[in-house]
Amino acid sequence: STPARIALIPGDGIGIPVTQAALRVIAASGAAVETVSFPWSCDHYLQHGRMMPEDGIETLRRFDAILLGAVGWPARVPDAVSLHGLLLPIRKAFVQYANIRPHRLLPGVEGPLKTRDFDILCIRENTEGEYSGAGGRVHQGTPDEVAVETSIFTRAGVERILRFAFEQARGRRGLLASVTKSNAQRHSMVFWDEMTDLIAAEYPDVAVTRYHIDAICARMVMAPESLDVVVASNLFGDILTDLGAAIQGGLGFAASANIDPTRRNPSMFEPVHGSAPDIADQGIANPMAAFWSAAMMLDHLDQTAPAARIMAALEATTASGIGTRPGRDSTDAITDAVLARLEG
Ligand code: NAD
Ligand code: IPM
Ligand code: MN
């Protein structure tokens, strides 16, 4: 078969070693891919004044998928510049409206909870909401200063993410948790609740429960086994999925897929974590999230056998005790263990 064309954006900090390791794992999985790497990052910004070239989106459009490490080096480039110059415009331009983030424990990995018994799929709205960028500041630097950040929720945007989540729930245990803060936010979140009820009528086989974001944060810790598919707005989904990462053993295990379900544009795959400046260059970044994200990418590209081989190798690795305690095993040691299981 013709190889899938992958645009690799390693980015900053630990994004670089974990994507390099992921490329080796993809190669060993037997996947048919060809990769072109783009050095778009905070370094690129400092050299060229832009996170990516002006035609960066048009360049990426020619690929079947994007594999990204992490973006951001806040000591040298403000996050609002780096993320709005690379990661967020890609999600938006390619209408990657569904950000899929699975939270479960790989065998042998010790999470902070007493239970191992949870399997949660977070579906995060990924193109609008609290990340719309609308707003501004007036009277800057004066006692009268006001900063406004406007969340924008469109009917089309809310409807498509809810439908996507209902479909996912239908293919799993049939439970959908819809997350809002409609007790305090009376426009967007009441609208979200109404849309949930409207669409729920078309999915009598899915049991919907509404949660407020604060209550579901507590539930994710106290009773994570009661959750199946969780759908949330951009910001709430962002926060919930770092919590999800924590209960699955840490940020180094949490994978994500930024999907355009229409398949008109390339989708993007990346760990949930960032560039981790505090551990960059120490050789101890956990690459599991990058590997899992790569498996999600191959699955999306209909290369299901190599994707399954990667997941089996990750599970065999952690089941043998390697990579179960982040910080103890190096990035290279974990990568070698996964490669051995793919090649052996
Ligand atoms: P972070 O996820 O980079 O790090 C949070 C904590 O988790 C740190 O202590 C870090 O060492 C640890 N950690 C993260 N990934 C790890 C891994 N694979 N193995 C072991 N430990 C890991 O979050 P942050 O510190 O808030 O952000 C750092 C930078 O990354 C910022 O510029 C931020 O904006 C950016 N960021 C980018 C993305 C992305 O590109 N998708 C995601 C989140 C944060
Ligand atoms: C994530 C990240 C990004 C987000 C940041 C870096 C803008 O935290 O992918 O979870 O909030 O979407
Ligand atoms: Mn996040």
Domains in the chain, ordered, with CATH?
1-95+265-344 (3.40.718.10), 112-247 (3.40.718.10)
Give Cα 50 distance to the centre of its chain: 24
87: nearest Cα among 59, 62, 64, 56: 56
297: nearest Cα among 249, 337, 334, 255: 255
A 10 A CB-CB count for 344 gives 7
Q: Classify strands 120-125 and 98-103 as parallel, antiparallel or unpaired.
A: antiparallel
The ipTM value here is: 0.99
Give Cα 127 distance to the centre of its chain: 13
- Mean pLDDT by groups of 10 residues along the chain of 344 residues: 94 98 98 98 98 98 98 98 97 98 98 97 98 96 98 98 98 98 97 98 98 98 98 98 98 98 98 98 97 98 98 98 90 98 92
* Distance in angstroms (rounded) separating the CA atoms of residues 121 and 340: 29
Give the tokens for residue 92. Answer: 């938006």
Q: Classify strands 229-232 and 120-125 as parallel, antiparallel or unpaired.
A: parallel
Specify the ligand 2 atom closest to the Cα of 270.
9
pTM over 0.90: yes
* Distance in angstroms (rounded) separating the CA atoms of residues 250 and 110: 9
Nearest-CA residue for ligand 1 atom 36 is 274
Q: Which ligand is nearest to the CA of 72?
A: 1
User: The tokens 């993410």 sit on which residue?
Assistant: 161
Amino acid at the residue 293: S
* Distance in angstroms (rounded) separating the CA atoms of residues 282 and 33: 30
pLDDT score at 56: 98
pLDDT score at 344: 79
Q: Which of 84, 88, 92, 97 to mutate to test the pocket of ligand 2 (most atoms within 8 A of CB)?
A: 88
- For ligand 1, whether the C-beta of 246 sits within 6 Å is no
Specify the ligand 2 atom closest to the Cα of 256.
9
Report CA(282)–ligand 1 centroid distance (Å): 14
Nearest-CA residue for ligand 2 atom 8 is 238
Q: Pocket residues for ligand 2 (CB within 6 Å)?
A: 72, 83, 87, 238, 272, 274
3-state secondary structure of 18: helix
- Residues with Cβ within 8 Å of residue 200, at least 6 apart in sequence: 166, 206, 208
User: The tokens 């579901």 sit on which residue?
Assistant: 216
pLDDT score at 254: 98
Report CA(149)–ligand 1 centroid distance (Å): 24
pLDDT score at 215: 98
